[in-house]
Amino acid sequence: MSDLEIRPAAPEDIPAIVAMLADDPLGAQRESPDDLAPYLAAFDRLAEDPHQHLVVAVRDDQVVGTLQLTVIPGLSRRGATRSIIEGVRIHADERGSGLGTRLIEWAVEESGRLGCQLVQLTSDATRIDAHRFYERLGFEASHLGFKKAL
């Protein structure tokens, strides 16, 4: 396989990112790849916030992966800054290629460069394979993740 580049997402990447968000058992129910307007508006909100880092992984000019890294200052743990990884998606053609590992390792390293002492993420309780994947990468499933829709 040819080289992989991980770079900040651009507006032109939105269709490919949304296609990946929708190509997923959970995402299929809650995304709208035929209507990109809400995603473009959200991209503007992300671009305005210097603590948001939405990136894509690109191989052969194709977007094959994405994740969002958010840097969150805080008081607890002696004023530790933490990062949160959200929206990890790997293109179906790339699953099993090691790209997920590359992306998460990038996010962990970038978190250190950005001054974080802790990296955290939540994974849907039904995504058993993802849980094993994160544990292999040194994450500990120490918490329960609660959500409430508004």
Burial 118-129 (b: 16+ CB within 10 A, else e): ebbbebeeeeee
| Smallest distance, a second copy to C-beta of residue 2, A | 26
> Of 1 and 141, which has the nearer Cβ to a second copy?
141
Does residue number 144 form part of the binding site for a second copy (CB under 8 A)?
yes
Judged by CB under 8 A, the chain residues 52 through 91 that form the site for a second copy are: 52, 54, 68, 70, 72-81, 84, 86-87
Does residue number 17 form part of the binding site for a second copy (CB under 8 A)?
yes
Does residue number 119 form part of the binding site for a second copy (CB under 8 A)?
yes
Residue 33 DSSP class: T
> Of 81 and 97, which has the nearer Cβ to a second copy?
81
Q: Are 88 and 55 in contact (CB under 8 A)?
A: no
Q: Are 55 and 40 in contact (CB under 8 A)?
A: no
For a second copy, the binding residue among 6, 16, 43, 99 (CB under 8 A) is 43
> Of 1 and 109, which has the nearer Cβ to a second copy?
109
Q: Are 55 and 70 in contact (CB under 8 A)?
A: no
What is d(CA 121, CA 114) in angstroms, rounded to the nearest whole number?
A: 17
Does residue number 12 form part of the binding site for a second copy (CB under 8 A)?
no
Residue closest to 66 by CA, chosen among 121, 124, 15, 20: 20
> Of 98 and 145, which has the nearer Cβ to a second copy?
145
| Smallest distance, a second copy to C-beta of residue 123, A | 5
